[in-house]
A and B are shown apart, each in its own frame.
Chain A
Amino acid sequence: MKSVTKAYRPISWPMKGAGGDTGSWRAHRPVVDIEICTKCQFCWVYCPEAVIDRKEITIDYRYCKGCGVCATECPTGAISMEKEE
């Protein structure tokens, strides 16, 4: 029988990307128009994925799943969903 070494211990550690690079799931990409944006932080608070930077309103496209909640909740319409190439 194989002995249980450190690598085989069933313990997980908190890390980004536990579900892989989830940005590849995306069909539509949210794009922020920073000139219209009033920095109300609605997109940041409703983002289920925590990929939106609170101060700069930039999006981490490596993990953004493209759900579109930010674009729907944006009160000024500064976020638009563009089709992925």
Chain B
Amino acid sequence: MTTSIKKLPDIEQVLSGNGACGGCPATMALRIVGKALGSNAIMLLTPSCSVASMGMTPKLGYNWPGINICFATAGSSASGITHAVEILKEKGRLQGELPTVFSWVGDGGTYDIGFQALSAAAERNDNMIHFCYNNEAYSNTGVQRSGATPRGTFTTTTPTGKRQPKKNMALLMLEHNIPYVATATVAYPGDLYDKVVKAKNIPGMKYIEILAPCYLGWQFDMPETVQLSRMAVKSGAWLLWEAENGKISFNNPSSLIISGKKGADPVDEYVMKQGRFNRLLKGPDAESRIAEIQGDIDREIAFMRERAKITI
């Protein structure tokens, strides 16, 4: 059972009046993460929208000690800090419960630029949580293509639509043999809350990826952020799953799609709602290119269904 909304704690770690856009899914997700982690945590931020939304000195929009680090170093910096915290505890200079070290990084800092350091940190199995809020492009710098951008998407560097599919980063992290990997999205806050609470209590490297539909990058109307996130899950374009010690289990409603109890919605409605697929829909080969997107999704569902059966 997921935690119901009424049982979420009162604590607010994202403060009102920060510099994020209205309807920003990153701050929406970070609020829920804050409720799960509490105030005893250290936050690391690589260059991303979340750094820009911190606000102006001398004020800070997040209620954690935050460190701004280089783009490529989310994994290595968090490793350093988690080791430093452990040594301070050993020397007796830090009393009480150890703070949770977590990095809050966009998809660019996880999929592309930050991958090397993150992969190394996962291999060392350092005690930290890596959050990737995935808006499927470099939205902070004006929407450029990233490794998380799905096929057919218009960005400023793919003016005719991206020709390659996105990579399955959460599965890549699972193959590092880390104790906990999960995917979540903003439309299911109880599910996200449970996953963060679970990750907090597991020692070792944890990876949680959150789909964050960015209305500027995806080009839909501002109030529809949560709806788009829900549509992504219902069409199967985003699967909700978690893996403890390598065993994958799916969460509702993705578990219904995987088990075949309920078919995934056709991707058409999800694609038409977003302006980033507009150029693709207007082209002469629109139907075949939508079929390509549907093919990617079907392949991913079939692959994850079979992958979940491997429990060794």
A binding-site residues for B, Cβ under 8 Å: 10-22, 25-26, 40-42, 44-51, 54, 60, 62-63, 65-69, 71-73, 81
- C-alpha spacing A10/B58, complex, angstroms: 8
Given the complex of chains A and B, what is the CA–CA distance between A65 and B53 in angstroms?
A: 13
Can you name 30 A-B residue pairings with CB atoms under 8 Å?
A11-B58, A13-B59, A13-B60, A17-B16, A18-B15, A18-B17, A18-B19, A18-B54, A18-B61, A19-B20, A20-B17, A20-B56, A22-B16, A22-B19, A25-B22, A45-B5, A45-B32, A45-B189, A48-B20, A48-B24, A48-B27, A49-B17, A49-B18, A50-B14, A63-B16, A69-B222, A69-B226, A72-B227, A73-B226, A81-B223
Q: Within 8 Å CB of B31, what residues of A?
A: 47-48, 50
Cβ contact within 8 Å between A48 and B5: no
CB-contacts of B176-207 with A (<8 A): 186, 189
Chain B hits for A13, CB < 8 A: 58-60
B-side residues, CB < 8 A to A, are 5-6, 8, 10, 12, 14-25, 27-28, 31-32, 53-64, 186, 189, 222-227
- Whether B55 pairs with A18 at a CB distance below 8 angstroms is yes
Report yes or no: B226 in contact with A72, Cβ–Cβ below 8 A: yes
Q: A12-B54, A12-B57, A19-B56 are in contact. Are A49 and B189 (CB under 8 A)?
A: no
Contact partner, A17, options B32, B54, B59, B227, Cβ 8 Å: B59
Closest-CB distance, B301 to chain A (whole angstroms) = 27
Give the shortest distance, in Å, between B53 (CB) and chain A (any CB): 7
Chain A min CB distance to B184 (Å): 14
Chain B facing A: main interface SS: loop
List the B side residues contacting A16 at CB < 8 Å: 15-17
* Chain A positions within 8 Å of B21 at CB level: 65, 67
Give the complex CA separation of A63 and B63 in angstroms: 17
B14 to chain A, nearest CB (A): 6
Question: Nearest A residue to B58 by beta-carbon distance?
Answer: A12
How far is the CB of A66 from the nearest CB of chain B, in Å? Answer: 6
Taking the closest CB of chain A, its distance from the CB of B158, in whole angstroms, is 27
Q: How far is the CA of A16 from the CA of B189 in the complex (A)?
A: 23
**Does the CB pair B16–A49 fall under 8 Å?**
yes
B64: chain A residues within 8 A (beta carbon): 14
B5 to chain A, nearest CB (A): 5
Point out the residues of chain A lying under 8 angstroms from B23, CB to CB. Answer: 48, 65, 67-69
Nearest CB in chain B to that of A70: its residue: B223
Most A Cβ at <10 Å: residue of B14, B25, B61, B186: B61
Of A41, A46, A66, A71, which is within 8 A of B6 by CB?
A: A41
Residues of B within 8 A of A69 (CB): 23, 28, 222-223, 225-226
B2 CB to nearest chain A CB (Å) = 12
Chain A residues whose C-beta falls within 8 Å of the C-beta of B63 in the assembled complex:
14
Tell whether, in the assembled complex, residue B17 and residue A19 are in contact, meaning their CB atoms are under 8 Å apart.
yes
Chain B residues near A10 (CB-CB < 8 A): 57
Would A60 and B28 be within 8 Å (CB), given that A14-B63, A45-B5, A72-B226 are in contact? no
Q: Verify A19–B226 contact, CB threshold 8 A.
A: no
Chain B residue at smallest Cβ distance from A21:
B17
**A72 partner, pick from B22, B57, B59, B224, beta carbons under 8 A:** B224
